[in-house]
Amino acid sequence: MKTLQTSGALIATAVISVLVAACKAPTTASTFGSVVVSTSAQNVKSSDTAPASAVVPQKQIDAGAASAVAGLAAYQTALEDIYQRVNPSVVHINVSSASAQGNGSGSGFIWDAQGHIVTNNHVVSGMDKISVVFSDGSSAVAKVVGTDPDSDLAVIQVAKPNRSFAPVTLADSTRARVGQFAIAIGSPFGERGTMTTGIISALGRTFAETAAAPGRAPGYSLPDMIQTDAAINPGNSGGVLVDAAGQVLGVTAAIESPVRASSGVGFVIPSVIVGKVVPSLIANGSYEHTWLGISGATLNSEDAVANGLESDQRGVIVATVTKGGPADSAGLVGATRSTGGNAGANHGGGDIITAIDGRPVTQFEDVMTYLARNTVVGQSITLDVLRNGAPQQATLTLSARPKTAG
């Protein structure tokens, strides 16, 4: 653990050093060995006498340059250290199928000393043969232990004879912040052990696939996703995104790009969900997601006014309630009319969810994220709702999300 903290500190120190050096660096050169700093031209009229120039000594320039070089060297050392420690935990996965899906590849990472490896469900789904290539070039046949199409996670396992494993350490993705340093390691385009760097560029994204994945019921999306600008390409699927301490923030899963290559918008399944799903896949072969049994949308100003509320009211409007589901059993009410606008997309007359277990809800993603992070099947939750403008509470027991037929 001390080593992990050291890497994070090195990166922080390096970045600060570079920034400080940049701030100290002079802006204009007039003669070799010195820098002249003059007043901005917009502050000097043509009739004014030119102000005296201030000369920055060469010694100060050299000190700034040396500080920048030292900072970059520390940054490089930290990256090298992270790669040396994390890459042995990351694997390349080859898959093949006798069906039309043919051959493919992806990434994965070692979960435990029993040879369990985590990857994306879409990497191994429908495949007949799976082999794993480790960072040292050795390989082993793997079998599927469990899959969860709804979180796009899967666990495979290789035999243990004469092999030691280097499991990863999970970070707490709920503490991740936009701007935080992020490193992706995987096998883009089949190139094993590739490392790219960037930052966390957004949090709480919902990734809606254009078509239902194998085994995934249409309409279910991946919530609470981390967005990063670290380059993620085909083949990175199932790999890791780690923080400055080398701990896993999440599983690289998808990109938003018109050309099937990195466009600077990559999506990562957060560790808080990975940490819930994977143990169940290992123990039971599957994972049960909790389910409210509603469809809904973020309450916008037009919806709020149509429901007799102030335009700045926030929450989630319940559009439909699935008969026999938890929300139906608790008496939640879906929208009874369309308020027009947005091609009839706005809703009126439905309950408006404003909090779950006392936590404010301002958008539909808040509902999905809370369920994914904090709940299990059979758990009771309390919803604060507005019904015809009047506040009330509804307590319901969550059930398992329905599976795709067949």
The pLDDT tens digits for 216-236 are 445 578 899 999 999 999 999
> How confident is residue 42, by pLDDT bands cut at 50, 70 and 90?
very low
pLDDT for res 3: 38
237 noted as active-site residue: yes
pLDDT for res 13: 53
pLDDT for res 293: 94
Give the CATH fold of the 173-276 domain: Thrombin, subunit H (2.40.10)
Least confident stretch, 1-10, 67-76, 216-225, 297-306:
1-10
Give this prediction's pTM.
0.80
Do 242 and 248 touch, CB atoms closer than 8 A?
yes
The residue ranges of every structural domain in the chain are 2-38+52-87, 91-158, 173-276, 290-400
Distance CA 385, CA 2 (A): 47
- Tell which residue, 290, 395, 299, has the closest CA to residue 350: 299
CATH tag for 91-158 (out of 3.40.50.740, 1.25.40.340, 2.40.10.10, 2.70.98.90): 2.40.10.10
Q: Vertex 296, ends 292 and 301: CA angle to 5°?
A: 140
Q: What is the percent of the chain with per-residue pLDDT over 70, rounded to a whole number?
A: 79
Asked whether residue 40 carries a pLDDT value surpassing 60, the answer given is no
**Tokens 């990175």 -> residue:** 236
The residue annotated as part of the active site, out of 237, 289, 347, 351, is 237
Asked whether residue 329 carries a pLDDT value surpassing 50, the answer given is yes
The pLDDT tens digits for 353-373 are 999 999 999 999 999 999 999
Do 153 and 120 touch, CB atoms closer than 8 A?
yes
CATH tag for 290-400 (out of 2.30.42.10, 1.20.58.110, 3.30.70.260, 1.25.50.10): 2.30.42.10
> How confident is residue 394, by pLDDT bands cut at 50, 70 and 90?
very high
Q: What is the percent of the chain with per-residue pLDDT over 90, rounded to a whole number?
A: 64
Asked whether residue 163 carries a pLDDT value surpassing 60, the answer given is yes
The residue annotated as part of the active site, out of 152, 243, 351, 366, is 152
152 noted as active-site residue: yes
Asked whether residue 398 carries a pLDDT value surpassing 60, the answer given is yes
Total residue count of the chain as it appears in this document: 406
Phi, then psi, of 312 in degrees rounded to 5: -95, 10
The pLDDT tens digits for 88-100 are 999 999 999 987 6
122 noted as active-site residue: yes
pLDDT for res 347: 61
Highest mean pLDDT among 27-36, 41-50, 205-214, 300-309: 300-309
Q: What is the pLDDT averaged over residues 285-300?
A: 94
The pLDDT tens digits for 296-319 are 999 999 889 988 999 999 999 999
The residue annotated as part of the active site, out of 122, 224, 271, 366, is 122
Equal fold, 173-276 vs 290-400: no
Q: Where is pLDDT greater, at 333 or 23?
A: 333
